[in-house]
Chains A and B, each alone.
Chain A
Amino acid sequence: MSYERPQELLKPVRRRFITLTFTVALLLELLPLPVGSTRWLPDVVAILILHWAINQPRRIGVGMAFLIGLIADVATAGLFGQHALAYSITAYLVQLRQRQLVMFNLGQQALVILALLQANQVIMVLVRLASGAAFIGWGYFLPPLVGALLWPLLNKLLLLPYRHHSV
């Protein structure tokens, strides 16, 4: 296990930057995309919540995940509260083990992210089944795989502005 990553000191992350990333992710939700693409496109908002809950636990916790989930509910025209429920539960799971997760390398983190994103999907499927929707097939559990594969790249990208390059 490598201990390189957590030992580096990042510059303090600005709140503005976190807001910006969420704004961009919610805009992505609103983009009119070809019909088939929803089958593999990962839930960027969920990935961002997990990312900031791991790396900035003081800024993004259960409450913020809940609020962002409400906005995602409106943006996706889904049932009010389904994203909020899923996001707040996974944000809580991250918070329980945040000290451990931040020590993991990117590969190990990706595995955890995969499990958490799948938990999101499971919660949302259960909510929709309970409210009377039909099961929509196992293809619904594919996007988390793509999300987990994208995790290392996204992580590097999001922390890029806060590295000390001179050191």
Chain B
Amino acid sequence: MNFANSPSFANQGLSPGARLILCVLASLALLVGDSHFGLMDRARDAISVLLYPVQRAVNLPLAAGRHIGDFFVTQAELKQENDRLRSLELAQSGRLMRLQMLERELAQLKALNQLKAGRSDGGQLAEVLYTARDPFSYKIIIDKGMDAGVKAGLPVIDEQGLIGQITRVQPLTSEITLIVNKNQMVPVVNLRTGQRTLLYGYGGGVEVRYLSSGSDIRPGDQLVTSGIDGLYQDGIPVARVTHVDRPAGAAFARVLCQSVAGVQSSRYVLVLPTRSAVPPAPLPEPEPSVKKKKTTDEDAG
């Protein structure tokens, strides 16, 4: 019989103090290892595979609730939405036709000028599984992982704009670091003036840093990705300037911004393919046909 307060007469291994010291040392080692060297990624991957079915199971009732909620919309609502979408489609199909023409023209012009084709369309739709409970980090978990070909570093958008970047890929899920996370950087360009800057997250919001206090930036300015990093495609809306403060005596202006996308509220997100920044390597000199045949054989095998 093992009652709660029965004293333990037998000496049971280490004393609590020694155990505490061991545990504290172990957790400090883990902390340093994780924050400085990222040593724990593999362990985390392994545990996340075990946790994935649990996550799905826990999410199931909520997802079912949402589906039932979707099912019981009224006829009037559906009709209204249908009408709205129809008119929207009509309006957009005209623009789409023009866009296709323009795209073709642009492709021709770029081909003429030997420029690299810019934006590649497509992407992967993913559902947000849950937002991480850790209040310090602004990260969300989505249901696409290594199995769907997601790679670390890919940008993630919703229907309004950029929400973040994939930072950790696990076999079945992956983690997005939102643009509002501390020290998350996005290279942006001011649409009105064309000035390029860096947008920093500061933990709950975004701001432009290191912009000289004399520079031309106003509340209401749109910031879109500049595309010079070779990671984000250019022209994705990121943020809008809300407040500009030019303290006397400081070299830099304080520029507070509001993110455009529903950074912490979107349910579905789109994982964009990365753009290849590096121009293709120049083709090698044509070699004798015998040797070339050999290399193709190697490729086939």
- Does B139 count as interface, using CB distance less than 8 angstroms? yes
- Does A74 count as interface, using CB distance less than 8 angstroms? yes
Give chain B interface residues in 233-274, CB to chain A under 8 Å.
Answer: 264-265
Which of B48, B58, B182 is A74 in contact with, Cβ under 8 Å?
B48
Nearest Cβ on chain A to B138's Cβ, whole angstroms: 10
- Does A122 count as interface, using CB distance less than 8 angstroms? no
**Residues in B whose Cβ lies below 8 Å from that of A152:** none
- Does B34 count as interface, using CB distance less than 8 angstroms? yes
Give chain A interface residues in 58-85, CB to chain B under 8 Å.
Answer: 58, 61-63, 65-66, 69-71, 74-82, 84-85
What bracket does the count of chain B residues touching chain A fall in? 35 or more
- Does A9 count as interface, using CB distance less than 8 angstroms? yes
Task: Tell whether A63 pairs with B265 under 8 Å between CB atoms, given A29-B133, A128-B136.
Answer: no
Nearest Cβ on chain A to B227's Cβ, whole angstroms: 29
In the complex, A12 Cα to B132 Cα: how many Å? 37
Which of A6, A10, A58 is B8 in contact with, Cβ under 8 Å?
A58
- Does B33 count as interface, using CB distance less than 8 angstroms? yes
Which of B19, B29, B43, B51 is A62 in contact with, Cβ under 8 Å?
B19
Task: Tell whether A69 pairs with B27 under 8 Å between CB atoms, given A58-B8, A75-B51, A77-B137.
Answer: yes
Give the number of residue pairs across the A-B interface with Cβ within 8 Å.
139
Across the interface, do A82 and B31 meet the contact criterion of CB distance under 8 Å? yes
Give chain B interface residues in 119-149, CB to chain A under 8 Å.
Answer: 128-137, 139, 141
In the complex, A62 Cα to B128 Cα: how many Å? 35
Which of B1, B128, B141 is A77 in contact with, Cβ under 8 Å?
B141
**How many residues of chain A have a CB within 8 Å of chain B?**
52
Across the interface, do A81 and B134 meet the contact criterion of CB distance under 8 Å? no
Across the interface, do A66 and B23 meet the contact criterion of CB distance under 8 Å? yes
Across the interface, do A136 and B134 meet the contact criterion of CB distance under 8 Å? no
Across the interface, do B44 and A80 meet the contact criterion of CB distance under 8 Å? yes
Question: What residue in chain B is nearest A67 (Cβ atoms)?
Answer: B23
**Residues in A whose Cβ lies below 8 Å from that of B43:** 80
**Residues in B whose Cβ lies below 8 Å from that of A75:** 51, 133
Across the interface, do A131 and B35 meet the contact criterion of CB distance under 8 Å? yes
Across the interface, do A88 and B20 meet the contact criterion of CB distance under 8 Å? yes
Across the interface, do B1 and A12 meet the contact criterion of CB distance under 8 Å? yes
In the complex, A29 Cα to B203 Cα: how many Å? 22
**Residues in A whose Cβ lies below 8 Å from that of B27:** 66, 69, 81-82, 84-85, 88
In the complex, A70 Cα to B131 Cα: how many Å? 19
- Does A167 count as interface, using CB distance less than 8 angstroms? no
Across the interface, do A80 and B19 meet the contact criterion of CB distance under 8 Å? no
A118-159 vs B, Cβ < 8 Å mask (1 yes, 0 no): 000000000110011110100010000000000000000000
Across the interface, do B130 and A31 meet the contact criterion of CB distance under 8 Å? yes
- Does B62 count as interface, using CB distance less than 8 angstroms? yes
In the complex, A85 Cα to B23 Cα: how many Å? 7
Across the interface, do A133 and B136 meet the contact criterion of CB distance under 8 Å? yes
Nearest Cβ on chain B to A140's Cβ, whole angstroms: 6
**Residues in A whose Cβ lies below 8 Å from that of B35:** 79, 131-132
In the complex, A72 Cα to B266 Cα: how many Å? 25
* New A-B contacts (19) at CB < 8 Å, excluding given A31-B130, A81-B34: A27-B58, A29-B133, A32-B128, A38-B135, A58-B2, A62-B19, A66-B23, A69-B27, A74-B44, A76-B133, A80-B40, A80-B43, A81-B31, A82-B27, A84-B23, A84-B26, A85-B31, A132-B183, A134-B202
Can you show 25 pairs from A to B with CB atoms below 8 A apart? A12-B1, A13-B4, A33-B130, A35-B265, A56-B4, A57-B4, A58-B2, A61-B16, A62-B20, A62-B23, A69-B27, A74-B48, A76-B134, A80-B43, A81-B34, A85-B31, A88-B20, A88-B27, A92-B16, A92-B20, A95-B16, A102-B4, A128-B136, A131-B35, A132-B35
8 cross-chain pairs, A with B, having the tightest CB-CB distances, nearest first: A81-B30, A32-B130, A85-B27, A78-B134, A80-B34, A88-B23, A77-B132, A81-B27
Which residues of B come within 8 Å of A, CB atoms?
1-5, 8, 16-17, 19-20, 23-24, 26-31, 33-35, 40, 43-44, 47-48, 51, 54-55, 58-59, 62, 128-137, 139, 141, 175, 182-183, 202-204, 264-265
